[in-house]
Amino acid sequence: MVRTYIHDNNNSEDFRSSHDSGVEVTLAQLQKLGVLYYHLTNPKDVETLAQERGYKNQDVVNISLETFQNDESALLNKLNVFYEEHLHDDEEIRYIEEGEGYFDIRDAMANEWIRCYVEHGDLLIVPAGVYHRFTLSHTNFIIARRLFKDEPKWEAHNKSEQVDDSITHRQYLKSIQ
Ligand code: KMT
Ligand code: NI
């Protein structure tokens, strides 16, 4: 089941650790940032939700040591990419089928990271324009369904002054005011 809290910002510790500052965040606080949470155990409910919100594309990612032929540095290279602070031009759904991981959502008001521990059945709707990042935990294993709205705009825009100033990010900031 999901657990949400403020990230401790201890960057000398492996990013796959829990980084729990001890300060809990409620799902209502997450919702104020435009991030919606559902716990769904029936995959059919995921399909229904996706249809209701007009999703057209999806894929399933399996990220584990095995995926990278037990080459931990190759896995870490991939995780480093996911862990770059970034945003997308479209809303996206992430549904965890197996394993576990952490989605960090940038609280643009408090300028803090909200860490969302996710495992089987947890579903996050991540709005367009919100900065976020992802990592596995030390179990190094997740299977996640990723749902995309239109043409798969899977492109990530890493944080920069230009992206801060983009229409996508500015519209997002307006939407949470
Ligand atoms: C994202 O948008 O950050 C991702 O898709 C991360 C991988 S999904 C487990
Ligand atoms: Ni992303």
pLDDT tens track for 108-130:
999 999 999 999 999 999 999 99
First to last CA, the chain: 29
Between the CA of 87 and the centroid of ligand 2 the distance, in Å, is 6
121 bridge partner residues: none
Beta strands, E only, the chain:
3-7, 20-24, 36-39, 57-64, 86-87, 92-107, 112-119, 122-126, 132-136, 141-148, 157-158
Measured torsion, CA atoms of residues 51, 52, 56, 59, in degrees rounded to the nearest 10? -60
pLDDT at 135: 98
Ligand 1 mean position to 82 CA, how many Å?
6
Instruction: Quickly state the pLDDT bin for 153 (edges 50, 70, 90).
Output: low
CA 45 to ligand 2 centroid distance, Å? 23
Is residue 124 within 6 Å of ligand 1 at its C-beta?
no
> What is the position in ligand 1's atom list of the atom closest to the CA of 88?
2
Q: Find the 35 Cα to ligand 2 centroid distance in Å.
A: 13
Percentage of residues in the chain with pLDDT exceeding 70? 98
Does the predicted interface ipTM exceed a cut of 0.85?
A: yes
- Residue 150 confidence (pLDDT) above 80: no
* Tens digit of each residue's pLDDT (9 = 90 or more) over 65-88: 999 999 999 999 999 999 999 999
Q: Is the CB of 148 under 6 A from ligand 1?
A: no
**Which single residue is written with the structure tokens 């890493």?**
158
User: In this predicted structure, what is the pLDDT of residue 149?
Assistant: 87
Encoded amino acid at 127, one letter: P
Going by pLDDT thresholds of 50, 70 and 90, the confidence category of residue 42 is: very high
Give residue 24 CA to ligand 2 midpoint distance, Å.
Answer: 23
List, in sequence order, every residue forming a beta bridge with 147; answer none if it has no partner: 58, 93
Helices (H), the chain: 27-32, 43-52, 72-82, 161-164, 167-175
Give the number of the atom of ligand 1 that is nearest the alpha carbon of residue 94. Answer: 8
- Of 15, 67, 146, 154, the one to substitute when testing ligand 1's pocket (max ligand atoms within 8 A of C-beta) is 146
pLDDT-derived band at 152, boundaries 50, 70, 90: low
Please, what is the average pLDDT of the chain?
96
Q: How confident is the model at residue 89 (pLDDT cuts 50, 70, 90)?
A: very high
DSSP-assigned letter for residue 138: T
Mutate to test the pocket of ligand 1, among 61, 131, 141 (most ligand atoms within 8 A of CB): 61
Q: How many whole angstroms from 138 Cα to the centroid of ligand 1?
A: 17
Buried b (16+ CB within 10 A) or exposed e, 114-148: bbbbbbebbbbbbbbbbbbbbbbbeebbbebbebb
Instruction: With beta carbons less than 8 A apart as the criterion, state whether 99 and 67 touch.
Output: no
